[in-house]
Amino acid sequence: MTNPWLWSILIGMRHLRRKCPKCGHEQLVPKEKQAETVRCKHCGADVPPKPPRDP
């Protein structure tokens, strides 16, 4: 059985990950920039924020 603390960290990191629409590179985005468009670190394209999740 997985440690609940570790599991919560892994789930949280999943929501900070974004995939570039141009090159497909995945990167982690700081929580402070979660609602902003960021630049892909691989190709320089704009990576839009994920749409808000429904409750």
Place of tokens 């599991």: 7
DSSP state of 31: G
Tokens of 26: 């995945």
Q: Does residue 38 belong to any structural domain of this protein? A: yes
Long-range (24+ apart) CB contacts under 8 A made by 27-31 are: none
Amino acid, single-letter form, for residue 33: K
Whether the pLDDT of residue 46 is over 70: the answer is yes
Task: List the one residue out of 6, 37, 7 whose CA is nearest residue 22.
Answer: 37
5-44 confidence digits (pLDDT tens): 776 666 665 668 899 999 999 999 988 888 899 999 999 9
The CATH number of whichever domain residue 42 belongs to comes to 2.30.30
> Cα–Cα distance between 13 and 15 in angstroms, integer?
5
The pLDDT of residue 51 = 82
Q: Does residue 53 belong to any structural domain of this protein? A: no
Q: Does residue 15 belong to any structural domain of this protein? A: yes
Q: Does residue 25 belong to any structural domain of this protein? A: yes
Total structural domains in the chain?
1
The pLDDT of residue 45 = 97
Range of the domain at 23: 4-47
The pLDDT of residue 3 = 80
